[in-house]
Chain A
Amino acid sequence: CSSYQKALKSEDVKVKYDLAESLYKEGKYPKANRLFEQILPKYAGKPQGERVVFMYADALYKDEDYYTAAYQFERFSTSYPNSQKSEEAAFYSAKSSYMLSPVFSIDQADTYSALNKLQGFINNYPQSEFLSEANEMVQKLTSKLEKKELEIAKNYSKTYYYKSSIKSIDNFLLDYPGSSYKEEALFVKLDASYKLAINSYEYLIKDRLLEAQEAYDDLLKYFPNTTFADQASKIQEDIKEELSKRS
């Protein structure tokens, strides 16, 4: 029977506390957490509680249990708003939420909640040493949401719903005016506009080709050296050729 097992079964809170702390310092987080869970209620409302909650939250974070870590860090920063560690806890609570944000192609509820928490942190601690990291995370999450919208718009085009693709891109450009995906979005719009035009009834083709031409002009206006230059100019040539047939 190891000393760890003894501590787990021990009635003495102090024994548990000491072992949990040393396990935590050694980096044995899962073991430490089992002890922390046991002693946490005993220290609630006591001065040592502050230290226990922080160590517990930090161990959870390092053990990659971000869901519980986010909750425990948040609990810490609301229970001990005047603690020296409260800024750090608020940051790690937000960062834990950031770690929970999933791949762009599924529900983004966790991304939105991480963005809220990070924004809350940035507002509360504008002078924080973690500020640049927080800003970087906000950037990454926003970019993920943008990618989600763009991929949905691309998929409309892939399934031949060109009009829906164009509408989605228009929504995207309004919703995320400064997006890093703007260039790709403009190209997707050009591509969808052209395909919509040539797959239309004859009497609609000309007008729609002109709209596609506008989409091309937009892309070149904002991104004169666009990485999509080759594909875009190929489309533009086709637009010209099709238009010349109908002039």
Chain B
Amino acid sequence: IAQVTEDEIIEKGKQYTLAEIEVTGLKTFNKQTVITATGLRVGQKMSFPSDEISDIIKKLIGYDLFSNVDVYAATEGDNLYLTFDLQELPALSDFKIVGIKDRKKEDIITDTELKKGKKVTESFIVNTRNFLINKYKDDGYSNAKVTVTTRVDSTEANAVKMLINIDKGARLKIKSIDIVGNEKLSDKKLRKAMKNTKQKAIYRFWKKSKYIPENFEEDLSSLLDKYKENGYRDARILSDSVISNDDNTLSIAIKVQEGDKYYFGDIEFVGNNVYSDATLKKVLGLKKGDTYNGVLLKKRIQDNTDPDADDITNLYQNSGYLFSNISPVEVSAKNDTIDFEIRIIEGKPAYFSHITVVGNDRTNDHVIYRELRTKPGELYQKSNVVRSVREISQLGFFDPESVDPQIKNANAAAGTVDVEYHVVEKGSSQVQLQGGYGGGGFIGTLGLSFNNFSIRNIFNKKAYRPLPMGDGQSLALRLQASRFYQTYSFSFAEPWLGGTEPKQLSVSLNHTKQYASSYSSTGYYTGNVDKSRRFLITGVSIGIAKRLKAPDDYFYFSQALSLQHYNLKNYSTSLFTFPNGHSNSLAYTVGLSRKSSGPSPIFPKTGSDFSLSAKFTLPYSLFDGVDYKALREERDELEASGDDIDRIGEIDQKRFEWLEFYKIKFSGNWYTSLPAKFVLKTGSEFGFLGSYNSSRGLVPFERFFVGGDGMANYTLDGRENVQLRGYPNQSLSSSDGSVIYNKFSLELRYPITLKPQASIYALTFIEGGAAFDSFREFNPFQLKRSAGFGLRIFMPAFGLLGIDFGHGFDSIDGTNQPNGWETHFVIGQQF
């Protein structure tokens, strides 16, 4: 397109002074703009001819504004005169699309980027035409015709009008697929093997029976694969034809030759040193006499559809043989039996060399590297790469869908390989500020949780961007207040105490002040607060959780010590019979859990989570010298006569001065991936609160409240709210709380989107649970059942938001009336 005319008199490479720049051929552009674009200025020194001029021509052409750029030069002594002769591309002044409905035009305009003022190049015209033809072909309009014509618009300078004429033709449906020559496999089976080319049928209203040539080609090879899977390795397609019928339909005719059915003969392994023939045979799973199935053989050697499959390639890949090469070779075919040799080149085992992480804009290296299971100098194992991806995702600091391990620099001679993990940070801090009505008054909540905090940078001003982040610690503050209560809590956790081992330290503090509701003298609830009656709870707890190496490293062993002080002033309920007393609880919790769900903590697709924990207090009644039996007898008598309430209070104060109990809990959740992205969550829970000394009795604290959304609003008395949808909150326990419960649930989840900005999934569930006031009454099968559906939205800045509609099938009050529908809101609950 571009050319430089070289005058005979111009000496090569001579330095000139640029005396004048002229621009010709302009229609719409300003001359000065073009000169600025060239970057040249009058008076500058330049050699001519030079690369500089060709670079300028390239640059001007590159703007897609000119169809041609010519440069003419003249010299006079040391002076150089340059003339740029430009041909501007015409601009689109108007366009018209004919042949389709108006509302369809919008899409075409966006897709083809048609707009007024666009420069019309030859390639733009051709691309537009091809795009449209392909678009209609893909939609089944096999005979679509598109013409694009341009005409000079005389009303504007250098402008053209465009006319796009679309003739879709008829959408051709496939009336029939006729297969001849098949005796061993039925028409039906073969048609089924063709995934994207189907006959017209009434039940096919979702996907039309379109004819798309590429799909058809693909389906013909699927058809042959079907034969290969069944032993007909010689099967071939003799002919295929597509016939247009008069009624806008197509008929497809396929002629096949089946050939004979073959069987596997001897299968021998050659070149294997690491694994024995027996091991390999077991993995291969094919034996002499089986129907010959080339597709399966390939799959057992390397399954391209599942990177984690139990095939021979992965067997080697998972033990360091990255460079192994396995190929099946037919060694002989006698009659209908084919002998195979599986040739294995094991190669050198590969070791990890450079392990790098990129994309961590906030999180410090050590927080990520310590979680990786691929370490420099260790044997390459594909499974370790997969596990590392899970561990990174579980941190919660990165978008789980975009963690990408890239295997690099695989060097077969040195036996080394590098892995570079690509991560994308996501928001991991949450601010919760909410107000609402509940419990007869306004409730305000301020919650801050920082999940990737850096406590060592708390006094480092530079680290505030806007907060010190990146050390993987979590810090949470929560304040909640209503007319009836105030609660303050603070917690901190460091996942790798000292940075040497996965040993989590967590500390939490909380304080709650609860006022009683006031009642009128006649005993009616007035809806007001009685500030003279209050209940204070102050607690502190410290815990250590350690990742174990055995039985496997998904196990955690945890221990925690907690101290809680309860202080009552003039506060008596049916549970608290010592209105001006106090109570202390010093408890030790020990737990064993296994957490292998993943990859994302928000929407786990595989794995399972289990936890078993036991919480104990000291058995004070063994050594404190108090005769609880006598106290109990006295209390029973007093209660029966009902006169000396103060003495009952005194006795209860003695019973609950230091709480004495044990509590055992179990929970398990399994996640199973189902076809079409569905995930099934199967869950089971159990909890039991017991006493060491039956005379001292069960404590009024630490009880289970089953039913409803299961959200822990405030830690009044160590109570635990257990979710059971389809029933009002806490309705399945007695008003004092249950001491034993169990629950089973099935939840089917479907991800609508798992983008980092928001993860949304829909769910439907059935569940059932039962709660009792004593172990004697316990009947794990007397379930309150429910079913329903709901939606969850997780946004990094807000945490989890959800709504569930549940229908309770059983009654809560002992009648035969089912409870019916309940709506539950879920806010910020941990998955």
Please report A residues at the B interface, Cβ cutoff 8 Å.
Answer: 45-47, 49, 79-82, 102, 105-109, 148, 151-152, 155-156, 158-161, 163-164, 166-168, 171
A107's partner among B360, B369, B375, B377 (CB-CB below 8 A) is B360
- Whether A107 and B361, one on each chain, are in contact in the complex, defined by CB atoms closer than 8 angstroms, is yes
Contact of B375 among A79, A148, A158, A161 (CB under 8 A): A161
Of the listed stretches B29-37, B202-210, B796-804, chain A binds B29-37
B147 CB to closest chain A CB, in angstroms? 38
CA distance A161 to B44 in the complex (A): 63
Q: Select one of B44, B357, B369 contacting A155, CB under 8 A.
A: B369
Given contact pairs A107-B361, A164-B375, A81 touches B366 in the complex (Cβ within 8 A): no
Task: Check B365–A106 contact: CB distance below 8 A.
Answer: yes
Chain A residues near B36: list those with CB within 8 A: 45-47, 49, 79
Q: Bound state CA distance, A49 and B41, in angstroms? A: 14
Q: State whether the Cβ of B278 lies closer than 8 Å to any Cβ in chain A.
A: no
Which of chain B's residues 357-390 have a Cβ closer than 8 Å to chain A? 357-366, 369-370, 375-378
With both beta carbons as reference points, the residue of chain A lying nearest to B34 in the complex is identified as A45
Q: Which of B358, B375, B377 contacts A109 (CB 8 A)?
A: B358
User: Which residues from chain A contact B370 at a C-beta distance below 8 Å?
Assistant: 155, 159
In the complex, A81 Cα to B500 Cα: how many Å?
54
Among candidates B30, B40, B500, residue contacting A82 with C-beta atoms closer than 8 Å: B40
Q: With a 10 A CB-CB cut-off, give which of B351, B370, B377 has the most chain A CB atoms.
A: B377
Q: How far is the CB of A160 from chain B (nearest CB, A)?
A: 7
Chain B residues numbered 306-356 whose CB sits less than 8 Å from any CB in chain A: 351, 353-354
Apart from A46-B32, A102-B361, A166-B377, list 4 A-B contacts with CB within 8 A: A106-B362, A107-B361, A109-B359, A163-B378
**6 A/B residue pairs, CB under 8 Å, sorted by A:** A45-B37, A106-B470, A107-B360, A151-B366, A168-B376, A168-B377
A103 closest partner in B (C-beta): B364
CA gap between A45 and B65 in the complex, in Å? 15
Residue from A47, A160, A164, A167 in contact with B500 in the complex, judged by beta carbons closer than 8 Å: A160
Give every chain A residue within 8 A of B354 (Cβ-Cβ): 171
A167–B361 touching, CB < 8 Å: no
Q: Which residues of A contact B37 (CB under 8 A)?
A: 45
For the complex, give the distance between the alpha carbons of A155 and B366 in Å.
7
Q: Which residues of B contact A46 (CB under 8 A)?
A: 32-33, 36
Contacts of B41 in A (CB 8 A): 82
Bound: A107/B360 CA distance, A: 5
The answer to the question of B438 belonging to the interface, with a C-beta cut-off of 8 Å to chain A, is no
Q: Does B39 contact A (CB under 8 A)?
A: yes
Judge whether A171 and B362 touch: CB under 8 Å. no
A198: min CB distance to chain B, Å: 17
Interface residues on chain B, size class: 20 to 34
Contact status of A156 and B359, CB under 8 A, knowing A46-B36, A47-B36, A79-B39: no
Asked if B361 contacts A105 (CB within 8 A), the reply is: no
B501 on the A face (CB < 8 A): yes
Return chain B residues, CB-CB under 8 Å to A158.
499-500
CB distance from A54 to the nearest CB of B (A): 15
**What are the residues of chain B within 8 A of A155 when measuring CB–CB?**
365-366, 369-370, 499
Contact B376 A171 (CB under 8 A): yes
Report A-chain residues with C-beta under 8 Å of the C-beta of B357: 107
| Residues of chain B having any CB pair with chain A under 8 Å | 30, 32-33, 36-37, 39-41, 44, 351, 353-354, 357-366, 369-370, 375-378, 470, 499-501
State whether A106 touches B361 (Cβ < 8 A): yes
CB-CB under 8 A from B30, the residues of chain A are 45
Let me know if A164 and B378 touch, CB within 8 A: yes
Closest A residue to B465 using CB positions: A102
Contact of A105 with B499 in the complex, beta carbons under 8 Å? no
Q: A151 near B358 (CB under 8 angstroms)? A: no
Residues of A within 8 A of B376 (CB): 156, 163-164, 167-168, 171
Complex: A166 Cα to B378 Cα, angstroms: 11
The docked-state distance in angstroms from the alpha carbon of A105 to that of B361 is 9
Closest to A81 in B: B39
In the bound assembly, the distance between CA atoms of A158 and B369 in angstroms comes to: 12
- Given A46-B32, A159-B501; A106-B377 close (CB under 8 Å): no
Do the beta carbons of A159 and B500 come within 8 Å of each other? yes
Report if A167-B377 is in contact (Cβ < 8 Å); known contacts: A46-B36, A82-B39, A159-B501.
yes
For B363, list chain A residues within 8 Å (CB). Answer: 106
Give the Cβ gap from B352 to chain A, nearest Cβ, in Å.
8
Closest residue of chain A to B55 (Cβ to Cβ) is A81
In the complex, how many angstroms separate the beta carbon of B625 from the nearest chain A beta carbon?
50
Contact of B369 with A152 in the complex, beta carbons under 8 Å? yes
Docked pose: A166 CA to B352 CA in angstroms: 13
Interchain CB contact (< 8 A) of A106 among B33, B44, B353, B360: B360
A159 to chain B, nearest CB (A): 5
In the complex, the chain B residue whose C-beta lies closest to that of A79 is: B39
**Chain B residues with CB under 8 A of A108:** 358
Question: Closest B-chain residue to A109, C-beta based?
Answer: B358
Q: Given A81, A102, A164, which contacts B377 in the complex, CB threshold below 8 Å? A: A164
In the complex, what's the smallest C-beta–C-beta distance from B405 to chain A, in angstroms?
Answer: 16
Smallest beta-carbon distance B796→chain A, Å: 19
Q: Among B39, B364, B500, which residue has its beta carbon within 8 angstroms of that of A105?
A: B364
Q: Which 4 A-B pairs have the closest CB atoms?
A: A167-B377, A45-B33, A164-B375, A167-B376
Query: Bound complex: CA of A123 vs CA of B506, how far in Å?
Result: 54
Interface centre among B357, B369, B376 (most CB of A within 10 A): B376
